[in-house]
């Protein structure tokens, strides 16, 4: 499991528009790297829309936003279009990025255990160091939670 103050693992992926996205692309910027289980599910939609609605504020604070789930490019594009999401959504269909970040693991839901994506947000500074990890984000107020968490560092 990754910890705060460690270097963020480098990753490469494809976003909803077919663009290559790499952590290296964001060198010199603060990054909100958020992992979520699936597009267009109630809690994931609430989280994405909260980030969308506060996107301008997050940009003014110097953050770039990147979402990651195991859904494919086509599903990400549909999700982006439906909710007018202004940030890249990486299709991690083989769980490579999720495994690097330690968020693909056993979970429980409705009494059943299975392997899946743990909703987790990594706040990475402009030097590529993980400053904060939000392991159970408050999806309805996630942007505000990010700002408060960042300011605690």
Is 49 a catalytic site residue?
A: no
How far does Cα 31 stand from its chain's mean position? 9
**Owner of token pair 């692309």:** 25
Catalytic residue among 44, 48, 65, 117: 44
Token pair of 39 as six digits: 């597009």
Q: Are 10 and 22 in contact (CB under 8 A)?
A: yes
- The residues near 23 (Cβ < 8 Å, ≥ 6 apart) are 8, 9, 10, 11, 31, 124, 128
Q: In whole angstroms, what is the distance from residue 138 CA to residue 34 CA?
A: 12
- Name the residue among 58, 62, 55, 118 with its Cα closest to residue 83: 55
Catalytically active residues, by annotation: 44
């Amino acid at each position: 499991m990754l910890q705060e103050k460690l270097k963020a693992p480098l990753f490469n992926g494809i976003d909803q528009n077919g663009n290559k996205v790499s952590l290296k692309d964001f060198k010199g910027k603060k990054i909100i790297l958020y992992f979520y289980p699936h597009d267009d599910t109630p809690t994931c939609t609430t989280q994405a829309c909260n980030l969308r609605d506060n996107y301008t504020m997050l940009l003014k604070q110097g953050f770039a936003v990147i979402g990651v789930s195991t859904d494919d490019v086509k599903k990400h594009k549909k999700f982006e279009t439906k909710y007018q999401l202004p940030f890249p959504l990486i299709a991690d269909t083989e769980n490579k990025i999720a495994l690097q970040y330690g968020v693909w693991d056993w979970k429980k839901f409705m009494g059943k255990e299975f392997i899946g994506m743990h909703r987790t947000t990594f706040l990475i500074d402009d030097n590529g160091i993980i400053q904060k990890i939000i392991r159970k984000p408050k999806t309805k107020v996630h942007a505000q939670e990010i700002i408060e968490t960042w300011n605690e560092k």
